[in-house]
């Protein structure tokens, strides 16, 4: 009974076979079929490798929503070197709420030499080259997002040569926490002092001949500090052509949530517009000499997520490649063989045309004789 059920089951499975086997005696091989098969296998191998490379790659997905967080503080990461001594300059932040954040809350004034060492100049040259490429190819920002991780470093390398030159500049670095409203971070002459109507700087005791707001921005970012991320102003260097000169940077900050396979953080992207001019009250160019970074917070928040092709989708695409190539090459081979047979058959018909034969009664026949006198002997 069990053998009978097993035999019925096997017969049923054979009837459901959608891939019947053709006997080898019925299979005919040809040189053209082998050539087409070789081309098909080569194409399948090439496209499979390309598809696997696409499967290994990832892409960045951007989503936008309204930023509803207005109560938290915004962190500003600063690393700027000004070509003036530290006792002559002061940095602080004043926002639209007339809240003043002094540099003493998180910034360090370090006397340094303004000129860079050869290693530092090479670092700055490479960074400026990357910045120029980022302005031309915006898709490179995705590469930076994917390559960023906590142990990467994009900071200016320390000076290795022991320079005997006395410090002639001031490196202002550290971070400040400000309100999430528009504000103005500036570096100007004199230390900042609080004032009932705002703030002021003690610039009266500093001579105009010592003014030199040539500066280098080694790093400027907003939000959580993520090493490996290159910001728009990193590596910027400006040389003042006059003692009384104003450098202005108008910055639009966009809150950004970054989720990649290496890091997950809340940071901020920003765009910047630069302007510089000489202060000359006689010519109508009014203002205060210094470096002014006026920032504004966007109401939109961007969520950047790194995505990967699912494995099932990779299998579906792979099956489509293999099946599609086999079907296409089979159709093309059959069509080509059909055309070749028509052409060769036409040539054969032309070579096998009948010749006229004279009959004994004087008539002519256009058919080939089945047997001639010579064939009988």
Q: Which two tokens stand for residue 64?
A: 């936008």
Chain CA centroid to CA 68, Å: 28
Instruction: Indicate the pTM of the whole model.
Output: 0.70
Contact 102, 192 (CB under 8 A): yes
Backbone phi, psi, residue 85, to 5°: -70, 150
**pLDDT recorded at residue 38:** 86
Which DSSP symbol is given to 66?
E
Q: Where are the domains of the chain?
A: 31-59+308-333, 68-298
**Residue 59 in 3-state DSSP?**
strand
Q: Is the dihedral of CA 63, 66, 70, 71 positive or negative?
A: negative
Task: Please report the pLDDT score of residue 292 as a whole number.
Answer: 94
| CA–CA dist 287, 279 (Å, integer) | 6
DSSP 282-343: GGTB-S-SEEEEEEEE-SEEEEEEEEE--HHHHHHHHHHHHHHHHHHHHHHHHHHHHHHHHH
**Which helix H or strand E contains 347, and what residues bound it?**
helix 311-351
Structure token pair of residue 243: 């003692």
Q: Which tokens in the block code for residue 301?
A: 């928040």
pLDDT at 373: 46
pLDDT at 275 (0 to 100): 92
Q: Give the pLDDT score at 82.
A: 94
CB atoms under 10 Å from CB of 99, counted, come to 12
Q: Residue 249 has what pLDDT?
A: 96
| Both structure tokens of 313 | 């989708």
How does pLDDT run across 151-187, given as a tens digit for each residue?
556 677 877 766 677 888 999 999 999 888 899 999 9
Asked whether 293 and 245 are in contact (CB, 8 A), the reply is no
Q: What pLDDT sits at residue 2? A: 65
Q: Is 183 helix (H, G, I), strand (E, B) or coil?
A: strand
Q: Name the token pair of 3.
A: 């053998």
Report d(CA 199, CA 197) in Å as an integer: 7
In this structure, what token pair is assigned to residue 261? 């396979």
Task: Please state, as a whole number, how many other Cβ atoms lie within 10 Å of the Cβ of residue 20.
Answer: 6
Q: Which parts of the chain are beta strand (E)?
A: 58-66, 73-82, 89-95, 100-102, 107-112, 169-179, 183-189, 192-195, 198-201, 215-223, 236-238, 245-259, 264-278, 290-297, 300-308, 357-358, 364-365
- Helix, strand, coil percentages in the chain from 3-state DSSP, rounded to 5: 35, 35, 35
In DSSP notation, 243-292 reads SSEEEEEEEEEEEEEEE-SS-EEEEEEEEEEEEEEE-BGGGTB-S-SEEE
Spans in the chain with pLDDT lower than 70: 1-4, 17-20, 22, 25-27, 98, 102-104, 139, 148-154, 161-163, 194-198, 204, 346-377
Question: Mean pLDDT in the chain?
Answer: 80
Q: Confirm if 203 and 85 have CB atoms less than 8 A apart.
A: no
Among the listed residues 126, 159, 158, 308, the one whose alpha carbon sits nearest the alpha carbon of residue 230 = 126
Separation of alpha carbons 167 and 206, rounded Å: 18
Distance CA 253, CA 235 (A): 19
Q: What is the pLDDT of residue 77?
A: 92
């Amino acid at each position: 009974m069990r053998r009978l059920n097993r035999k019925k089951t096997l017969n049923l499975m054979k009837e459901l076979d959608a891939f019947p086997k053709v006997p080898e005696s019925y299979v005919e091989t040809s040189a053209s079929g082998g050539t087409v098969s070789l081309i098909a296998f080569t194409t399948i191998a090439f496209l499979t490798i390309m598809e696997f490379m696409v499967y290994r790659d990832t892409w960045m997905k951007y989503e936008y929503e309204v930023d509803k967080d207005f109560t938290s503080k915004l962190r500003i990461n600063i690393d700027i070197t000004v070509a003036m001594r530290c006792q002559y300059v002061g940095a602080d932040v004043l926002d639209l709420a007339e809240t003043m954040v002094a540099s003493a809350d998180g910034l360090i004034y370090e006397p340094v030499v303004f000129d860079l060492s050869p290693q530092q100049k090479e670092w700055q040259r490479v960074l400026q080259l990357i910045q120029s490429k980022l302005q031309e190819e915006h898709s490179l920002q995705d590469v930076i997002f994917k390559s960023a991780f906590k142990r990467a470093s994009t900071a200016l390398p320390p000076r290795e040569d022991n320079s005997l030159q006395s410090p002639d500049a001031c490196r202002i670095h550290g971070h400040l926490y400000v309100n999430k409203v528009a504000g103005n971070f500036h570096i100007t002459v004199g230390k900042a002092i609080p004032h009932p109507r705002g703030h002021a700087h003690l610039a009266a005791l500093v001579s105009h001949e010592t003014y030199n707001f040539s500066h280098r921005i080694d790093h400027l970012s907003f939000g959580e500090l993520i090493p490996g991320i290159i910001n728009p102003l990193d590596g910027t260097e400006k040389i003042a052509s006059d003692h009384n000169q104003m450098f202005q940077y108008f910055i639009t900050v966009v809150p950004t949530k970054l989720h990649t396979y290496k890091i997950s953080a809340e940071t901020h992207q920003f765009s910047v517009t630069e302007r510089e001019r000489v202060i000359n009250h006689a010519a109508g160019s009014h203002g205060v000499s210094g470096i002014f970074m006026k920032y504004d917070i966007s109401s939109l928040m961007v969520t950047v997520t790194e995505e990967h092709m699912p494995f099932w989708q990779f299998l579906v695409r792979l099956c489509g490649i293999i099946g599609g190539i086999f079907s296409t090459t089979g159709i093309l081979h059959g069509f080509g063989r059909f055309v070749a047979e028509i052409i060769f058959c036409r040539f054969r018909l032309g070579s096998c045309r009948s010749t006229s034969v004279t009959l004994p009664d004087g008539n002519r026949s256009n058919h080939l004789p089945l047997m001639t006198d010579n064939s009988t002997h």
